[in-house]
Structure 1
Amino acid sequence: MTAHQFTLSVPATPTAVTAARHQAVDAIEGWDAGLSTGVVHTAELVISEFVTNAVQHAAADPVSLCVRLDEGALRIEVCDACPDLPQPGLPDPYSESGRGLFLVAVLTDRYGAEPTAIGKRCWAEIDLPTSPDQEIAFSLPLQRS
């Protein structure tokens, strides 16, 4: 499989999130790499969550988005200038936010956040099916006690 990469500098504005998500998904689909709809939709959710969080915490600093397709996995990285690492967890049942990183954790095969020289990098990887017939299956543990 040919390696592909898409990078984008995103202004730290709420309206930029939608544009960044659309541009990244258009690039992914343009690679003509035979990615399943499930992989593309998962990537779209991860991109949206990571870029939204970065824009909310980056103040006026730009955010960088990188999507890379290598043999075996699709990797999404978002860097911003805020040094605070995200702390994923289960939100309060009445909270209107705080579920995004939980979904990233459930839908991706690996994810994390790490400090950089100027802030942090949030990343996630989605493993690709080993055969064209293999479907990506997942379940969301949504039971509450």
Structure 2
Amino acid sequence: MAAHRLTLSVPAAPTAVTSARHQAMAAIAGWKAELDDEVVHTAELVISELVTNAVRHAGTGHVSMTVRLIATVLRIEVCDSSPVLPQLGLPDECSENGRGLFLVAALADQYGAEPTSTGKRCWAEIALPTSPDQKSAVALPLQRS
């Protein structure tokens, strides 16, 4: 499979989430890589969650996103200017937010965050099915704090 890449920068504003998601989905569709619906829908949700977190925590400036399709992996990277790395946890039942990284962890095959010279990079990888019968299983040993 050929390598494909989209890189974009959006303002750290709530409207950026919709813009980033739409641009990424248009690019992915344009790659004509014949990704199955589950991968595309998973990517759409992961992009929304990572960009939302970046916008929420970046302060001012821009958020950058790169989506790459290489071999059998779709990788999504979102960078912002905050040096604070996210912490995975399960929020209270009454919390109105705090579930984004939990969703990313549940949907992606791998995910992580790392410091950069200008803030941080949060990333997630979605493995492409190698056969039509391949199913993914998720095991999440999380407890409420």
The normalised TM-score by structure 1 is: 0.92
Residues 1:23 and 2:23 aligned together: yes
Residues 1:109 and 2:109 aligned together: yes
Conservation of the 8 A alpha-carbon contact between 2:53 and 2:100: no
Cα separation, 1, equivalents of 2:139 and 2:10: 30
- State how many pairs are aligned: 143
Q: What is the Cα deviation at residue 29 of structure 1?
A: 1.3
Aligned residue number for residue 134 of structure 1: 133
- The aligned amino acid for 2:122 is C
Percent identical: 65
Runs of 5+ consecutive residues of structure 2 not aligned to the other structure:
none
Q: What is the Cα deviation at residue 100 of structure 1?
A: 1.3
Aligned residue number for residue 5 of structure 1: 5
Structure 1 segments of 4 or more deviating over 2 A? 134-141
Q: What is the Cα deviation at residue 121 of structure 1?
A: 0.2
Runs of 5+ consecutive residues of structure 1 not aligned to the other structure:
none
User: Secondary structure of 2:118's partner?
Assistant: coil
Cα separation, 1, equivalents of 2:139 and 2:94: 18
Residues 1:60 and 2:25 aligned together: no
Q: What is the Cα deviation at residue 137 of structure 1?
A: 4.2
The normalised TM-score by structure 2 is: 0.92
Q: What is the Cα deviation at residue 103 of structure 1?
A: 1.0
- The aligned amino acid for 1:53 is N
Cα separation, 2, equivalents of 1:136 and 1:101: 22
User: Secondary structure of 2:17's partner?
Assistant: helix
